[in-house]
Structure 1
Amino acid sequence: MSKTEKENPVHSLIAGATAGAIEAVVTYPAEFAKTRSQFGGKREPPIDVIKNTIRTQGVSGLYSGCTALMYGNALKAAVRFVSYDHFKHMLADKEGKVSPARSLVAGLGAGITEAIFAVTPSETIKTKLIDDAKSPNPKYRGLLHGTVSIVREEGIRGIYRGLFPVVMRQGANSAVRFTTYTTLKQFVQSTARPGQQLPNTITFGIGAIAGLVTVYTTMPLDVIKTRMQSLAARQQYKNSFHCAYRIFTEEGVLRFWTGTTPRLVRLMLSGGIVFTVYEKLMLVMKKL
């Protein structure tokens, strides 16, 4: 693997946060449909979720909880890229090279870091807002009111519901995504475009492939995470393992891949958008 140089943490922070916020807004309807389809009870295909939501609440209904994800995604992406660059540099050998195995470890470290500091709170709030929005009389009036209400009712633990599956999912997500992306990028650069900057289309395509691989390997963790963060989680599940057991025994193994299509759409777009915006902003800031 090629030589790695330490990225400027401030540049990584700005580029990562911007890329994360843009990605969240563009892909949110797919995230909304995925989350709603993963709740327990009657199975509702993602396309029906979108149709029914637009019919009853309008297009704006597809953006319930979007603000929570946008802020959380910006923070998540910032933490992810800064921590990944840090771990990657720390794990480089004496020549400054990072092997695929060490890149995997760096991605795992970045995923765990972002899960603790950014993803779990924002995902929990987003999931509860989406769950609440399907009620005829929603009790949360928006991000701020919802966050304050959750903390008041459940304490700080209320926004850290599902921490374990989130840590597992984000660790796996980042490990798989960064390793796939870095490996494919360096393969293309070394074979087709040695010593050249990759164009946006190729960067987007590599990011999309990384998103595709990530979805199918981590989908069960995503389903467990959504269930553990729903409004009824405290009444239904003792912990993540109990949740997984009930899904498996009561609903079947295929239920772990519920919401794959919208998550696939989102993560393929997200991989392309995030890596493309990040790479271009880093390039601009280096030139400045």
Structure 2
Amino acid sequence: MVGVHPDRPEIKSISLYESITSGFLTGTTIRLFVQPLDVLKIRFQLQEEPTIRKGGGKYNGIGQSIKTIYKEEGITAFWKGHIPAQLLSQIYAIVQFTTYIQFAKYFTKIFKNNKDCQTLSDFFAGSLSGSLSITASMPLDVIRTRMVAQGTPKIYKNIFHATKKIFKKEGYRGFYKGLSASITQTAPFTGLQFLSYNYLGNVWEKLISTNNSSIGSVICGGLAGCFSKCIMYPFDVVRHRMQVLPSDRRGFGKATIHIGMIGTFKKIIREESVFGLYKGLVASILKASVMAGLSFCSFELFAEYIQKK
């Protein structure tokens, strides 16, 4: 199968346990592959200096950035923050796929007599599932971002030290910095991703093949992830700027405090131009494409396997 719409028999019959288990295995599988791209993306997003060559910034291109990180921090730097990122992916995938299926079933019943609205049910269900997913995993997202952003010497030794330090210095609110920008970005992003994935899945099966569904899932998922990320990317930059303190960026160039989503947007545009909102776009598109393609393919394969057991 290519697609996770509840009209499909495989998804319609999936139980809560099966969707949770499939989501957990999906989140566990994909994080190992996308973490290096995530590290590159976040480093670009947090850099306030230009990311072009001779722009004065520490990182100016994927190739140069890989060499710099490897030379200064070693190969393990590409998996900085992997433990919180792994937990983040697991929680996010569980909540996303489980709630999406439930919301999609609900909206499909409501719009059963309107084909146009049935298509939009993918967007509505995806948006709601995305909002719940990012809210549930936000504390881990903040910890992951802080650990990826730091250089040497390390400010945060591990996930437990980071949790204690953030709570002591910033309180529980510190774990939800950038939540407004995160929901604003994630809700339509996830909605567009599910909408475009299911649409492309139908096109794939009609025009290309009903066999080799895994290949179709990877390709359609990758395209859906790329499309959605391009549209909503500026909000991703803003939320990561809001999550990190200047002290976390010591040794990485200029670092200022960003307060509020609108204020951060204005500050980036004023000081870095509108192009500042697209720093790290190439690395982010690569990550989004790989992550979406593997996520949809993995979830469908795991769900199919578990249902057959």
Q: Is this a same-fold pair by TM over 0.5?
A: yes
Aligned 8 A contact 1:127 1:230 in 2: yes
2:134 pairs with 101, 107, 115, which one? 115
Q: Does 1:41 align with 2:48?
A: yes
Question: Which residue does the alignment assign to 1:286?
Answer: 307
Q: List gaps (5 residues or longer) in structure 2.
A: 50-56, 248-254
Segment drifting more, 40-49 vs 14-23: 40-49
Tell me if 1:238 matches 2:242. no
Distance in 1 of aligned mates of 2:25 and 2:230: 26
1:260 aligns with 2:281: yes
**Large movers: runs of 4+ above 6 Å:** none
Counterpart of 2:146 (choices 109, 124, 128) is: 128
Quote the Cα distance in structure 1 between the aligned partners of 2:259 and 2:288.
30
Instruction: Report the AA paired with residue 148 of structure 2.
Output: I
1:178-206 Cα offsets, whole Å, 9 max, x none, are 0010111122234444xx46521111111
87-96 or 13-22: bigger deviation = 87-96
1:56 aligns with 2:72: yes
State the TM-score, normalizing by the size of structure 1.
0.92
Instruction: Describe the SS at the equivalent of 1:99.
Output: helix
Alpha-carbon offset, residue 2 of structure 1: 8.0
Q: Which residue does 1:217 correspond to in 2? A: 231
197-206 or 91-100: bigger deviation:
91-100
CA deviation after TM superposition for structure 1 residue 271, in Å: 1.1
Paired residues of 1:65 and 1:130 also in contact (CA < 8 A): yes
> 198, 206, 213: which is aligned to 1:199?
213
Q: TM-score normalized by structure 2?
A: 0.86
**Contact 2:48/2:272 (CA < 8 Å) preserved in 1?**
no
**Partner of residue 35, structure 2:** 28
Matches of 2:283 and 2:83, distance apart in 1: 19
- Do 1:69 and 1:123's aligned partners in 2 also have CA atoms closer than 8 Å? yes
**Alpha-carbon distance between aligned partners in 2 of 1:235 and 1:273, rounded to the nearest angstrom:** 36
Aligned to 2:90: 74
The structural deviation recorded for 1:252 is: 0.4
In 2, the alpha carbon distance for the partners of 1:230 and 1:185 equals 38
Distance in 2, matches of 1:273 and 1:244, equals 31
Contact 2:6/2:104, CA 8 A, preserved across alignment: no
Q: Is the 8 A contact 2:242 2:264 kept in 1?
A: yes
Aligned to 2:16: 9
One-letter amino acid matched to 1:268: S
Kept after mapping to 2: 8 A contact 1:6/1:89: no
Which 10-residue stretch deviates more, 34-43 or 65-74?
34-43
- Contact 1:15 1:281 (C-alpha < 8 Å) held by counterparts: yes
Aligned to 1:237, the other structure's residue is in SS state: coil
Identity fraction in percent: 20
**Alpha-carbon RMSD:** 2.1
- CA displacement at 1:169 relative to structure 2: 1.5
* Unaligned residue ranges in structure 1 (runs of 5+): none
Distance in 1 of aligned mates of 2:203 and 2:275: 34
Task: Give, as a single letter, the amino acid of the residue that structure 2 aligns with 1:126.
Answer: R
Distance 2:47 2:40 in 1: 14
Secondary structure of the residue aligned to 2:109 is coil
